[in-house]
Chain A
Amino acid sequence: MTLYPLKNPVLIPYLKNIFNDVGNITLFTVRFFKEVVRPPYEIKEFFKQCYTIGYKSIPLVTITGFIMGLVLTLQSRPTLAKFGAESWLPGMVALSLIREIAPVITALICAGKVSSGIGAELGSMKVTEQIDAMEVAAINPFKYLVVTRILATTLMVPVLVIYADAVGIYGGYMGINIHNEVNLFRYFSQVGESITFLDIFPAIIKTFFFGFFIGMIGCYKGFTADNGTASVGKAANSAVVTASLTIFIIDMLAVQVTDLLF
């Protein structure tokens, strides 16, 4: 009896698609590294994208970061109280947020908001021949549209994560103050005593990778969209799914690498 038939009508094309995508994304990434160093540099468009990706995500990241810190504190307090370790709450909340929760949740928000937005925008530009129009005008659309967006996400996601860390820790302070009255200065002193450089450094490094892949996948899906309006929605949807999955894979690898190195 063959457990894995060689001509599986569903599995083979599915695997073929995955390998095809991985191969194409690799080539797309190689092209990015080739183009990023070559002049001309689209500085104005890069800052415009930084504004769109970074500044315009602030309200969403603020709300999410605050709720993350608040809920984490409220959920953890009863358990710590059982052991009489409530004083550890600020440190525990800060560590959880900085090392894991804020980077992953913020990256997932960016995957949903930014990666899908880039996928849909570039996909619709492809369908309406706007990318072709750039090419025939002797303007490199890859440099103008792709390089600027990937650089912007790579830079802005870490900034948003640091911001989410700060807002989340403040949310934790509000959470503690629902039950006990704690001085803000004392709270932040406790947070400062609990975290070290080695808690912050690897967590921030991995967010550069999150940002890079959020931009890369969004751009790849949009830039390679098929003709037809349906492909715009497909590009946006596929960008979110692939970027979210990639974030978890990078996170898992980052934990292993951090354990090995630090």
Chain B
Amino acid sequence: MIQEKINIEKNTASDSEVPVIVIKDLYKSFGKNAVLKGVNLTVNKGENLVILGRSGSGKSIAIKCIVGLVIPDQGEINVFGTDITKLSNHELNTIRVRIGFLFQSAALYDSMSVRENLMFILRRHATDLSSEELETEVLQALENVGLAEAIDKMPSELSGGMRKRIGLARTLILKPEIILYDEPTTGLDSITSKEISELMLDIQKKNKTTSIIITHDMECAKLTGNRIVILKDGVIHAEGSYETLEKSDDDWVRSFFI
């Protein structure tokens, strides 16, 4: 295993070095297929961590473990200092409201309009807000992603890029401290991909959020990542900044950057 020295030049936000996510010896198997074989990972406050790896290497499983969508076989996942693997569903929900998750497909609720998609979550968690305040929050969230005009549209009327943006607006509506992005630019053209990446970077700067970004898009990784880890055979194979890993001695690591 190669442990590249972390050399983060552009990291402006992770100065505090306060870990918000600490994963220790994470194991997960599906039948005989061992996906994660002892992943150890720390994500600091305000940092954008990019996870790279081949398809099926367990990147999405790892972030799904962080929000309790997948139950690990073994290991510890400390989020905000609490081991989420030991929490009840009710306790886990108190952590979940502080974490945003952008799904690969955006996972917008088909039967609801854009407004209802955002309102659905907000109304359940911001119970002290009046109807007018809820409406303002929804509009504000949509303006942040530049899609206020799509408020009354149905998800089926939106393009791939718009769906991602609305998904992002829905993720941000509860003002999460951590955002987990599962392949945010997959299936988008290069211009839209860049727009989404810039939006993610903007969110980090504006809201001081901590993010884990899973991607195959190296432009996105370069633009958004303060640090990159590469998963191979269920463990972290390499770790470092984009620039360091790009010049790695390991051919396999370098192959991601070609």
Query: Which residues of chain A have a CB within 8 Å of any CB of chain B?
Result: 40, 121, 124-125, 128-130, 132-133, 135-139
Contact = CB atoms under 8 A, between A and B. Distances in A.
A136 B101 contact: yes
A132 B69 contact: yes
B105 A129 contact: yes
B67 interface: yes
Interface string B162-179: 000000000000100000
Contact of B103 (A124, A133, A139): A133
B67 A136 contact: yes
A40 B121 CA distance: 14
B125 interface: yes
14 contacts: A125-B110, A128-B107, A128-B110, A129-B103, A129-B107, A130-B109, A133-B101, A133-B109, A135-B69, A136-B67, A137-B124, A138-B93, A138-B94, A138-B97
Given A128-B105, A129-B105, A136 B110 contact: no
Interface of B: 64, 67-69, 93-94, 96-97, 99, 101, 103-105, 107-111, 120-121, 124-125, 174
A8 B69 CA distance: 37
A25 B102 CA distance: 31
Contacts of B105: 128-129
Contacts of B104: 129
A205 to B, nearest CB: 33
A218 to B, nearest CB: 16
Contacts of B125: 138
Contact of A132 (B99, B103, B108, B111): B103
Contacts of A139: 120-121, 124
Nearest to A121: B111
A137 B107 contact: no
Contacts of B101: 133, 136
Contacts of B109: 125, 130, 133
A138 B89 CA distance: 9
* A40, A121, A124, A138, most chain B CB atoms within 10 A: A138
B103 to A, nearest CB: 5
Given A137-B96, A137-B174, A138-B93, A132 B107 contact: yes
Contacts of B68: 135
Contacts of B107: 128-130, 132-133
A124 B109 CA distance: 11
A255 B68 CA distance: 46
Nearest to B109: A130
Contacts of B103: 129, 132-133
